[in-house]
Structure 1
Amino acid sequence: MDLRKLKTLIDLVSESNISELEITEADGKVRIVKSDGAVAVPMMMAAPVAAPVAAAPVAAAVAAPVVPEETGYIVKSPMVGTFYRAAGPNAKAFAEIGQQIKEGEPICIIEAMKIMNEIDTDVGGTITKVLCENGQPVEFGQPLFVIE
């Protein structure tokens, strides 16, 4: 996919009400997700290995947020999706700060492709931090909880 086409897609997402766009073509795949600052950011792009890539100026650089080092065991997201602390809007949260949990207990749900995936903890202990907001999109490997 050439850079002019990519720039057009980024402009389309940033000027519209859509928050995410994914396009797959024979020469690659691009996924654009609108960030909180209303700027569209290409999330991934795969191109054939044989395709030559010309150097071009970057339209915008996005720095990853600085996450302070956490102590304790960090439960990370096993998938990309939407983070939910409870099974439903009026349901009690699976895990609260200060709550004792046992290994294998469910601590949240991640919705991916309209499927609710219950996420279990790998260790027992006390929940010391919840690092995501309810309804927040999460990436693979993103920290969700800290357990001491």
Structure 2
Amino acid sequence: MDIKEIQNLIKFVAKSGASEVKLEMDDIKITIKTGSDSDTTIVHQVPAAQIPQVAAAPAVVEASAPAATPPPAAAGSDDSKYITIKSPIIGTFYRKPAPDKPLFVEVGQTIAEGDVLCVIEAMKLFNEIESEVSGKIVKVLVDDSSPVEFDQPLFLVDPS
């Protein structure tokens, strides 16, 4: 893992809003913690030849990575009759399968169980998020191409 990949990983974690991420591979261990005061990155690498290259990463990243802020609450008192579809993973939310393709679902559209609602990109993998309920899309709670956290509300569905 080179310094560019480490910096990209840190930027991704900062955008996602996760408070701590640990990654362990054969020759490297990385812990990324984000907090309200400042971001911290700890990198341990086994081969001695790689240490100088990786040791520069925390200084660069701490200066460039902003502190993550939690997303606003999306549930209101009138939304209690709706089912909330939440993100099963951390990643980047996309409403379309590709930039030149139509949206998976739109507000007012009726969906069935198993219909694809969106994709969430995590670590260069695009995961299709399928509906576990049938109903009508009432509201899309996340903007296209924005980072989402685990269990973050994505859609409101009227089951009736």
Q: Is the TM-score greater than 0.5?
A: yes
Ranges in structure 2 where 5+ consecutive residues have no aligned partner: 1-6, 14-20, 43-66
Aligned to 2:75: 68
| Correspondent of 2:142 among 132, 135, 146 | 132
Distance 1:27 1:110 in 2: 26
Partners of 1:81 and 1:112 within 8 A in 2: yes
Partners of 2:74 and 2:153 within 8 A in 1: no
Alignment-mate amino acid for residue 138 of structure 1 = V
Aligned to 1:53: none
| Correspondent of 2:31 among 22, 29, 32 | 29
Paired positions, count: 113
- Which string of whole-angstrom CA distances, capped at 9 and with x for unpartnered residues, describes residues 39-69 of structure 1? 88649x9xxxxxxxxxxxxxx9x67634333
Structure with the higher fraction of residues in helix conformation: 2
The runs of at least 4 aligned residues of structure 1 exceeding 6 Å deviation read 21-28
Distance 2:29 2:123 in 1: 25
Distance 1:79 1:63 in 2: 16
Aligned to 1:56: none
Equivalent position SS for 2:120: strand
Identity of aligned residues (%): 39
TM-score of the pair, normalised by structure 1: 0.62
TM-score of the pair, normalised by structure 2: 0.57
Q: Does 1:93 align with 2:103?
A: yes
